[in-house]
Structures are given as C-alpha cells and as structure tokens.
Amino acid sequence: MTSHINDIIDFDPEVFLKQYWQKKPCIIRKLFPDFSDPVDADILAGLSLEEEIDARIVSCENGNWDVQQGPFNTEDFDEHCVGNWTLMVQGVDNYLPETQFLTEQFSFIPHWRFDDLLVTYSVAGGGVGAHYDEYDVFIVQGMGQRRWQVGHKLSSHSEKLYPHSDLQQVKPFEPIIDIVMLPGDVLYIPPFYPHQGKSITECLNYSIGFRAPNQSELFQGIADGILDNDILTKRFSDPNRELTNKRSAVNEHDIFVLKQLMHQFIDLDEMDYLLTEMLSKTYHPIHDDYALDSPYSRPEMLQLINTGFTLTPNLGVRPLYSEHQINEFFVFFINGHRFEADAVDRFFFETLLNATQLNVGHKDQLQFSSVDIITKLVNEGFYSILD
C-alpha cells in the first residue's frame, strides 16, 4: 500500500469547501478525537426490526453476493448474516439523539443539502464492493479498522456490474486513495468517485450523506405546489397565428412561447417559497409521539416566556427559510409545513431555525402572533421545551 497517494488534510471547513467539496476525495485523520461509538451492533440490529426503518444486509459468501431488504426479524440474522456481511441502517439520525454530534460536525453545509445518517456494522472482510454514489458522503470510522480505496472520478455512463439485482458495483479501479481508517478518522467522497471499504476487523461506520436534486426531481417536487397555486394561471394565447397546411406540426414559435410561459412561472418570486417548501420535506416523517397530548394554551406559553425556557428542534426536523423574503411576513417551512411570522420577529425566528437550542424569554419582546407560532411548533411536535 502506498501512502503518497492519500490526500490527508487538517480540517478547516473553509479550506475544505474551496479545495475538496464536490471536487476531490480526502481523508481527515482524527476529526473526532477519542471517538466513542454512539451505537453498537445490537442497537443497530434492533432498529432494523422496525417497520418504518430502511435496513439491508449485504453479504458475500464464496463470491456469491446477496442483498436482503428489511425490516428483519431475529431469525433473519441467522439466515442472512453469513460470510462477509454488513448490516446497513438508513436514517439513524431520525431515531437516536446520541448520533447528533456526527451530523452537527458538518453543519457548515446547509441543512437542505443533508440527506441522512447511514450506519453500517460489518464483520471482518465485510463490504458492499466497489461502487459509486451520486451524492457526497463523509464516512466516519467508528469501532475497528477498515481499508478504504477511492478511484478516479467516473461518469454516470461508466459500465456497471450487478452481482445481485439490488447491488450496483463498478469494475476494479486504480486507487488514488488507499488507506486504513481508524476510529475518529473521516473519508470524504464526492459524487461519482468509485470506492470500496473492506473491514479488517469488526467495524462500525457512519455515513453522513448529502442530497442534490436533479431537474426531474425538482419538477416533481414543485408540481403539487404549482397545482395548488392560484397565481400560476397565465394561459397560452396566439392572436397572431399564421396559416398552416401541416396541422400536426407544432411550430418553433409555438414551442418558444410555451417555454416562455414555463420560464415566467419559474422566475416568479413565489417560486422561492415553493422550492424552499419542497426542500424542507424529508423522506422520514417526524415521530407522531412528539405531538403533545396536553397542548399549551397561549396564556401558558406567555407564562413560560416570562420565566424563560429553552427550545430545541426534535429529531428529524428540517426547518428552512428563503433568505430572499418577498412579502410582509417572514415565511418559513418545517418538513413541508408553512409558517408565516410577523416580519418584526424575523431575527428571532431566523435565530431559532438556525439553532440547536435557543433560550426564549421576555427580552425577545415577541408579537402575539409569534407566541402562537411557538405554541404550535411545540404542540405539533416540531420543537421541544428542554427541562
């Protein structure tokens, strides 16, 4: 194994964004000094039994790859955890507050780009083979030692291999990174860089993944909002139509005008909100049990504000707002829900939405409408009051 090929950096988020983010892979040694695993194999196995959790077991025995999709029951583990196997559980950030320090380390990248935390447990020899992902990922090494190799960037047209119908791999590649990761080390991999991890010992890995919508996802994502929106009503018109003898032809000018209609609605200010609303939606619904059985009334909330208290977002909450606000309210979205606050309290709400904890008190001099919003945020389970 040669070491000169490895790009090892001292972590400075600003330098990282300039030189590596979306550009090239790198290793950050000991980004988490004295790393202590927030989960263990049993906790992970327990999560993979849950109906709403996306989990899979990838195994390779005598060269035969297998993929099993959860949810599992306890007998499944005996049957499928064979040979070199890995248990992968998606969206762990939505369930275990003790994993929050991992995602918070990367909060210099905006919340809307974050996808989820994938946690994998693998036995010695375990791995999912050489592959690439379309998203950026930071892979944190927990317990154990794992050899990671990363190759030169591929294109989306590169040849893919399917040793199992649910497992996409690529051909062996020449590594530009080849390293043994130790607890607390981090490997950053941009989209389309082929990589593979092979456990040297029993391992836990934490993949903090980021998402980036493509054009088709953007269109699908805003479609509902467009259909519900009563300002997007401008209709095609053709008062200067010219004679044709080709009734099946849609002429260049017609296409131009139709496209213009589409451009115009995309350029509407209201689209800023539709996009923000869409980006605030997550694949994982937040827990129903965060909603309060005995909700606060406005007088009770005013009382709390008078004495002072601390608010914190519940797990899985993704609050977003567009910096460019286009009307007299401050509009923000939490997991697809729209809130409109009085513009005079914009600073308060911006601070709240960007914080992991915020002390609220009478110093904030909030409008009644803002007190009502805070009451709703707590009653409906988006935020909790810390004891």
Residue 128 contacts ligand SIN per CB under 6 A:
yes
What are the tokens at 367? 């409008």
Of all residues in this chain, which one has the CB nearest to ligand SIN in the complex?
120
Residue 133 contacts ligand SIN per CB under 6 A:
yes
**Of the ranges 65-73, 91-99, 133-141, 331-339, which one interacts with ligand SIN (CB under 6 A)?**
133-141
**Of the ranges 39-47, 95-103, 132-140, 175-183, which one interacts with ligand SIN (CB under 6 A)?**
132-140
Residue 7 contacts Co ion per CB under 5 A:
no
Determine the Cα–Cα distance for residues 301 and 60; give it in Å rounded to an integer.
Answer: 56
* DSSP at 93: G
207 binds, among Co ion, ligand SIN, none (CB under 5 to 8 A by kind): ligand SIN
φ, ψ at 370 (rounded to 5°): -75, -35
Q: CB under 8 Å to 226, separation ≥6 — which residues? A: 232, 265, 274
Residue 127 contacts ligand SIN per CB under 6 A:
yes
Residue 86 contacts ligand SIN per CB under 6 A:
yes
Q: How, if at all, do strands 186-189 and 175-181 pair?
A: unpaired
| Position among 90, 207, 282, 379 found at the interface with ligand SIN (CB under 6 A) | 207
> Least distance (Å) from Co ion to the CB of residue 195?
6
Question: Is the CB of 161 or the CB of 255 nearer to Co ion?
Answer: 161
Q: CB under 8 Å to 105, separation ≥6 — which residues? A: 31, 32, 208
For tokens 């950050």, the residue is 28
End-to-end CA distance of the chain: 52
319 binds, among Co ion, ligand SIN, none (CB under 5 to 8 A by kind): none
Subset of 138-157 contacting ligand SIN (CB under 6 A): 139
| Position among 99, 120, 276, 280 found at the interface with ligand SIN (CB under 6 A) | 120
120 binds, among ligand SIN, Co ion, none (CB under 5 to 8 A by kind): ligand SIN
Q: Are 283 and 116 in contact (CB under 8 A)?
A: yes
The DSSP line for 304-363 is: HHHH-EEEEEPTT--EEE-SS--SSEEEEEETTEEEEEEGGGHHHHHHHHH-S-EEE-GG
Torsion-angle region of 63 (φ positive above 0: left; ψ -120 to 50: alpha; else: beta): left
> Least distance (Å) from Co ion to the CB of residue 131?
6
> Least distance (Å) from Co ion to the CB of residue 73?
27
Residue 133 contacts Co ion per CB under 5 A:
yes
Residue 178 contacts Co ion per CB under 5 A:
no
- Which SS3 state, helix, strand or coil, does residue 128 take? coil
> Least distance (Å) from ligand SIN to the CB of residue 354?
29
Q: Which residues bind Co ion (CB under 5 A)?
A: 133
Q: Which residues bind ligand SIN (CB under 6 A)?
A: 86, 120, 127-128, 133, 137, 139, 195, 197, 205, 207
